[in-house]
Amino acid sequence: MKWALLSVWEKSGIVELAQALVKNKYNILSSGGTGKALAEAGVPFTEVSSYTGFPEMMDGRVKTLHPKVHGGLLGRRQIDDAVMARYGINRIDLLVVNLYPFEKMSGRVMALDKLIEYIDVGGPAMIRAAAKNFKDVAVVVDPSDYPLVIKTIGEAGFIPEQRLMLAKKAFARTAAYDAAISNYLSNLDMAFPPILSLQFTHGRMLRYGENPHQQAAVYGTAGIAGAEPLQGKQMSYNNYLDVNAGTALLLEFAEPAAVIVKHNNPCGVSIGTDILDAYLTAREVDPASAYGSVVSLNREVDKKLAEAIDSTFVEVVVAPSFTKEAFDTMKKKENMRVLILPERMNTDEVRTIDGGILVQRTPPYTENWTVITDRDPTTDEMQALRIAWKVCKHAKSNTIIFADQKHTLGIGAGQMSRVDSAKIAIEKACAPLAGSAVASDAFLPFPDTLEVAAKAGATALVQPGGSIRDKEVIEAANRLNMAMIFTGVRYFRH
């Protein structure tokens, strides 16, 4: 007879698994809540305390921490048989364990002395023991693997490749569990722990990285990382980056809005009376760059909008929903990826550098818009300034954005010189800039950028302020009759 030890917090499917084990002549060891569930279902099992000769104690803290349990998991066949026989240790051939839900409970408001009772000790110890001895013991930590177990025990049993696969999952689970505990406890008294452990699941290989000679994968089950196309080709590394950039900017707008992104920079942004109006206007900001772009929309896509999107080459379109007619229309573009706009997760930003990572967090903050020129912005200028500033947050620095009351007019981003960014924005402008507003993601160190913008027709400017030459820039704005606002917040994006 073979032995299986079952000890699970999440009990979905455990009774059916136990019934299959009994049918295939397994003896079952169990205890606590798992044993109660088996007993209620009429599944025969042996209490762990009966097997070890020691009762559960300390409110259940100690029940499986015993040589007869760990010896059964760690004992090497043909090597440790004599020792196991001498001490009455049964071979445990299958371990099924899932852990106390520390990750879930740590997200609730709970006193620490209560929360620590959700730190599993016996479970991880058994998982590690079984996974170490995977050649002889199959270890199952994921209920989604129960069907595999049921099928396998009813046939020829576990093959070595299956055992190794299950062991890999087991060690990944205990690593993630320990990381969650470590990170939580460290964050009790410090913003960033001295050791940061990151765990992401659902890893999927991508066709390649930024370029065809590079390898890449995406990990995650939520937000942009968890998004997969409803139609079209597999998402690429660059697609994920552009969708992430576009949807982040899209959240700046409550009204119908369209954001078109190319190479991680917005190339057209517009609000409209409806979403079709917003998209068409955004596309006209820079039609050449819109070719092969990623389109993010904050309203449902209908057939008419789908036809407009199909009229040019779009890599990815993201929206909260699509009508059936829109889907049918978009199927004609079989390679175009179509995504449902996911909920934004607002997690820490993590970027790799040689030898390590950088971690950035954005706590709640408030901008302080202050008019610092002789002239206040008009109502129209203020609307244009707000659009330019929203877009400015999400373009690569140095960035200069020209806008009117509805959409961006010119975008200059990613330049070493702020003046060069302004000149590029002017050169790429989709319409005359007379009466436009301009935004700068960081302070103006000299009046030159403002003067270039004014010469192009801009009449209002928004910037963080804070330069040692602010006085010179303010004087230039007054001389040119420009309204200028300081926000007090810089938006570098490297």
Contact predicate 160/135, CB 8 Å: yes
Q: How far is the C-alpha of 390 from the C-alpha of 439, rounded, in Å?
A: 9
Highest mean pLDDT among 20-29, 195-204, 262-271, 347-356: 262-271
**Average of per-residue pLDDT across 293-315:** 97
Residue 130 has pLDDT above 80, yes or no: yes
The per-residue pLDDT for 411 is 97
CATH architecture of 204-340: 3-Layer(aba) Sandwich (3.40)
Compute CA distances 351 → 176, 358, 441, 449, whole Å: 20, 5, 21, 31
**Average of per-residue pLDDT across 427-431:** 95
pLDDT digits (tens, 9 = 90+) for 325-380: 999 999 999 999 999 999 998 888 999 999 999 999 998 999 999 999 999 999 99
Q: Which residue has the higher pLDDT, 80 or 235?
A: 235
Q: Which residues contact 355 (CB under 8 A, 6 or more apart)?
A: none
Residue whose entry in the numeric block shows the structure tokens 């001498």: 86
Same fold, 2-186 and 370-486: no
Helix locations, 187-294, DSSP H: 223-226, 237-250, 275-285, 287-290
In the sheet with 483-486, reading across from the earlier edge strand, the strands are 370-371, 483-486, 460-463, 437-440, 400-403, 408-412
**Tokens at residue 185, please?**
């406890």
Q: Is the dihedral of CA 383, 388, 389, 394 positive or negative?
A: positive
Lowest-pLDDT range of 128-132, 183-187, 375-379, 487-491 = 183-187
Contact predicate 5/96, CB 8 Å: yes
Q: Which residue has the higher pLDDT, 54 or 449?
A: 449
Q: Reduced to 3 DSSP states, what percent helix, strand and coil does the chain have, rounded to the nearest 5?
A: 40, 20, 45
pLDDT digits (tens, 9 = 90+) for 220-275: 989 999 999 999 999 999 999 999 999 999 999 999 999 999 999 999 999 999 99
Residue 55 has pLDDT above 80, yes or no: no
Beta-bridge partners for 295: 260, 317
Lowest-pLDDT range of 31-40, 134-143, 216-225, 430-439 = 31-40
The per-residue pLDDT for 62 is 67
Q: How far is the C-alpha of 251 from the C-alpha of 231, rounded, in Å?
A: 24
Cite the active site residues: 132, 263
Q: Quote the Cα angle for 17-21-25, to 5°.
A: 170
Pairing of strands 257-262, 265-271: antiparallel
The domain segmentation of the chain, as residue ranges, is: 2-186, 204-340, 370-486
Count each helix (H run) and each strand (E run) in the chain, helices first. Answer: 20, 20
Residue 53 has pLDDT above 80, yes or no: no
* Distance, C-alpha 441 to centroid of its chain: 26
Q: Which residues contact 26 (CB under 8 A, 6 or more apart)?
A: 1, 2, 3, 4, 93, 94, 153
- Specify burial of residue 372 (Cβ count, 10 A radius: 0-12, 13-18, 19+): middle
DSSP 26-90: EEEEE-HHHHHHHHHTT---EEHHHHHS---BTTTTBSS-SHHHHHHHHPPTTTSHHHHHHTTPP
**Tokens at residue 316, please?**
């990815």
Confidence bin at 80 (pLDDT 50/70/90): confident
**Tokens at residue 388, please?**
């330019």
- Specify burial of residue 69 (Cβ count, 10 A radius: 0-12, 13-18, 19+): buried
Residue 61 has pLDDT above 80, yes or no: no
For 97, the 3-state DSSP assignment is: strand
The per-residue pLDDT for 458 is 98
The per-residue pLDDT for 60 is 66
CATH architecture of 2-186: 3-Layer(aba) Sandwich (3.40)
Pick the CATH number of 370-486 from 1.10.10.10, 3.40.50.11720, 3.40.140.20, 1.10.730.10: 3.40.140.20
Compute CA distances 493 → 241, 300, 307, 349, whole Å: 14, 30, 34, 12
Q: How far is the C-alpha of 480 from the C-alpha of 458, rounded, in Å?
A: 10
- Of all residues in the chain, what percent carry a pLDDT higher than 90? 66
The per-residue pLDDT for 193 is 82
Q: Which residues of 161-172 are buried (b: 16+ CB within 10 A; e: fewer)?
A: ebbebbbebbbe
**Tokens at residue 423, please?**
């000149």
Whether omega for the bond prior to residue 398 falls within 30 degrees of 0, making it cis, is yes
**Tokens at residue 315, please?**
């890599």
- CA atoms lying within 13 Å on the CB side of residue 213: 0
Q: How far is the C-alpha of 109 from the C-alpha of 398, rounded, in Å?
A: 42
User: Whole-prediction pTM value?
Assistant: 0.84
